[in-house]
């Protein structure tokens, strides 16, 4: 898949770098990453579609190609996307925000198509699994594809009367498809958390920032992790997430990724100073505003 720059506009005086260069996302136009970008920025934000998360980080890190990126990091059902934590650690990107997006799956068809006309349903395997409660009512052939939005695009391009796609509402709007059955996902409480990333030199301090993401590793001494967690608790900071991952090339040493919710920047600074004394390495991935779950 080649990267594509969608909704591209000519730079106008007074427009921001984000509006001029756009944001890198994983997936095709109409995907949930684009929905997350629209929720954080605005509906006309230009997006650069990338095949992989690695490509998202590469494009987002290049000031000539983009003004940042959006990357999924965890899902309320499937859990954390562990490889993306490694991408965060190695890049020159900082987290400047987050979006919690409810994943709503819809059955999309060409205009005029009825339920009884459908013979096949195309979508990403995960999307199909999320909709088994609805799909089991019908005797349709289920065809797995690489992307939900791409499935919608193919239905539109082929003008088929017998093929439907499972994808986002946004994909239906972009590819002019009829949403014949909205919200067909079985589990309604399905959210994906997306991180908003920008190059370090672009990042300005967010005045009302109340959340930080860090990674650190400790030595093998007894209780070393417990000491770090105790310092966080004693500092009055809420540890909202803790994720461990093996350090590549090490003898069973682990990197820990933590999300910290705080009330003041001074409170955060004090705790970071305390825990730095109990870690071998500490990296602040970003300080930003806590995202809301809608």
The reported pTM is 0.90
The residue among 114, 231, 255, 251 whose CA lies nearest residue 178 is: 114
| Sheet with 120-123, side-by-side order of all strands | 141-144, 120-123, 163-167, 106-109, 178-181
* Separation between Cα atoms, residue 59 and residue 69, nearest integer Å: 8
Residue located via tokens 């990357």: 71
Q: Do 106-181 and 4-103+190-200 fall under one CATH topology?
A: yes
Helix (H) or strand (E) holding 54: helix 53-60
* Separation between Cα atoms, residue 204 and residue 191, nearest integer Å: 28
Write the CATH number of the domain with boundaries 106-181: 3.40.190.10
pLDDT at 222: 84
Q: What is the pLDDT of residues 160-199, one digit of tens each?
A: 999 999 999 999 999 999 999 999 999 988 999 999 999 9
pLDDT at 265: 93
Return averaged pLDDT per consecutive 10 residues of the chain, 294 residues in all: 46 63 95 95 93 96 94 92 89 94 97 97 95 96 96 96 97 97 94 96 91 91 90 96 85 88 95 92 95 78
Write the CATH number of the domain with boundaries 211-288: 3.30.70.260
* Separation between Cα atoms, residue 55 and residue 2, nearest integer Å: 10
CATH superfamily of 4-103+190-200: Periplasmic binding protein-like II (3.40.190.10)
* Separation between Cα atoms, residue 218 and residue 276, nearest integer Å: 10
pLDDT at 51: 93
Task: Identify the DSSP state of 231.
Answer: H
pLDDT at 6: 47
Spell out the domain ranges in the chain: 4-103+190-200, 106-181, 211-288
Distances (CA, A) of 251 to 219, 220, 247: 11, 10, 8
């Amino acid at each position: 898949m080649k990267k594509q720059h969608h909704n591209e506009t000519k730079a106008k005086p007074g427009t921001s770098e984000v509006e001029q260069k756009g944001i890198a996302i994983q997936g095709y136009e109409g995907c949930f990453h684009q929905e997350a970008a629209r929720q954080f920025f605005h509906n006309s934000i230009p997006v650069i579609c990338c095949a992989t998360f690695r490509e998202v980080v590469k494009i987002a890190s290049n000031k000539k190609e983009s003004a940042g990126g959006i990357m999924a990091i965890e899902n309320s059902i499937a859990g954390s996307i562990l490889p993306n934590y490694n991408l965060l650690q190695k890049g020159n990107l900082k987290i400047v925000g987050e979006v919690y997006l409810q994943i709503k799956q819809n059955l999309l068809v060409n205009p005029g198509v009825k339920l009884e006309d459908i013979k096949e349903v195309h979508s990403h395997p995960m999307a199909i699994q999320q909709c088994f409660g609805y799909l089991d009512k019908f005797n349709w052939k289920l065809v797995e594809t690489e992307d939900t939005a791409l499935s919608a695009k193919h239905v539109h391009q082929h003008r088929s009367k017998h093929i439907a796609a499972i994808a986002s509402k946004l994909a239906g709007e972009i590819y002019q498809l009829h949403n014949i059955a909205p919200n067909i996902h079985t589990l309604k409480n399905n959210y994906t958390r997306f991180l908003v990333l920008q190059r370090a030199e672009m990042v300005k301090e967010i005045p009302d920032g109340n959340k930080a993401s860090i990674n650190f590793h400790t030595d093998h001494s007894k209780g070393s992790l417990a000491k770090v967690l105790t310092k966080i608790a004693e500092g009055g900071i809420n540890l909202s997430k803790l994720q461990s991952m093996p350090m590549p090339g090490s003898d069973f040493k682990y990197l820990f990724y933590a999300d910290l919710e705080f009330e003041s920047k001074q409170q955060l600074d004090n705790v970071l100073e305390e825990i730095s004394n109990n870690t071998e390495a500490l990296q602040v991935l970003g300080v930003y505003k806590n995202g809301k779950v809608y």
